[in-house]
């Protein structure tokens, strides 16, 4: 009996140390922010978000997240939300007048520093939106539907939804958001007179992702199309691409909440981070 009790006690000490408990990451604050400050057209009240402490708390919570303990869907939801959240935060801090691709000369939309500069710490690593998109979401998950969930703060992007992704809803929501984009003027347009189907540039830029998943871009698209568009494909139309509109997806101009000098210093710091060429991995 004593040996049995000793073995039982020992097992109670050892087993818990062998179990890796899985706790979902809390996206509730981000969910409330999106519901409150994003309208049905996907336009964002960046000024409202900037003044809401809940958003700052959520951004801070991303820094120390332990993603490895999450489930597959939990990790997928985490990284989609992280991309969208830090993109919103960068808009608030950079305050572009018209586009996230502005250079120092307003109206010239050629810069990619907004996406490449690493100003945020997420899950213990310093990164920018491009790192999350290309090094994590595309490489690790290989799910082309992410292109309709990560929002680059621009008018030709899918609309930013009024909810956060979670472990429980991510698969269903990815399907819904993919369908919405495919059946919008942002995603696909048809010109019967010219016998041409116009696709979003997303299908051009990332065609390898869609080919890898479904064999071809059109094979990926077809299950999401309405019957009238599928019928049009029977005419073997030409394929062309819709010019991408990089105009900011803001309800109103982003206001300066700090002095002009502080804003210039913040921009300088952002560019300094980029110029150092710090590596993510």
Work out the mean pLDDT of the chain and round it to a whole number.
88
Per-residue pLDDT of 176-193, as tens digits, reads 999 999 999 999 999 999
Per-residue pLDDT of 209-237, as tens digits, reads 999 999 999 999 999 999 999 999 999 99
Cα distance between residue 81 and residue 30, in whole Å = 8
Per-residue pLDDT of 15-28, as tens digits, reads 444 444 557 899 99
- Contact between 70 and 24 under an 8 Å Cβ cutoff? The reply is yes
For 181, other C-beta atoms within 10 Å of its C-beta total: 21
């Amino acid at each position: 009996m004593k040996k049995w009790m000793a073995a039982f006690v020992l097992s109670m000490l050892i087993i818990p140390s062998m179990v890796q408990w899985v706790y979902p990451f809390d996206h509730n604050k981000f969910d409330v922010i999106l519901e409150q400050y994003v309208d049905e057209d996907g336009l964002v009240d960046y000024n409202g978000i900037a003044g809401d402490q809940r958003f700052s708390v959520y951004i801070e919570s991303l820094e120390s997240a332990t993603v490895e303990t999450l489930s597959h869907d939990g990790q997928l939801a985490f990284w989609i939300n992280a991309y969208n959240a830090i993109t919103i935060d960068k808009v608030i801090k950079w305050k572009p007048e018209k586009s996230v691709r502005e250079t120092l000369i307003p109206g010239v939309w050629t810069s990619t520093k907004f996406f490449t500069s690493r100003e945020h710490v997420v899950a213990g690593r310093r990164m920018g939106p491009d790192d999350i998109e290309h090094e994590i979401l595309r490489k690790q998950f290989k799910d082309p539907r992410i292109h309709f969930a990560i929002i680059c703060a621009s008018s030709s992007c899918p609309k930013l939804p009024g909810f956060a992704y979670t472990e429980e809803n991510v698969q269903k929501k990815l399907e819904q958001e993919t369908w919405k984009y495919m059946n919008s003027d942002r995603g696909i347009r048809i010109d019967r007179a010219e016998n041409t189907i116009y696709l979003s540039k997303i299908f051009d830029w990332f065609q390898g992702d869609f080919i890898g998943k479904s064999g071809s871009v059109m094979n990926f698209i077809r299950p999401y199309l309405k019957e009238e568009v599928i019928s049009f494909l029977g005419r073997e139309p030409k394929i062309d691409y819709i010019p991408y509109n990089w105009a900011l997806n803001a309800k109103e101009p982003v206001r300066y909440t700090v002095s002009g000098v502080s804003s210039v210093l913040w921009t300088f710091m952002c560019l300094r981070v980029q110029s150092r060429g710090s590596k993510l991995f």
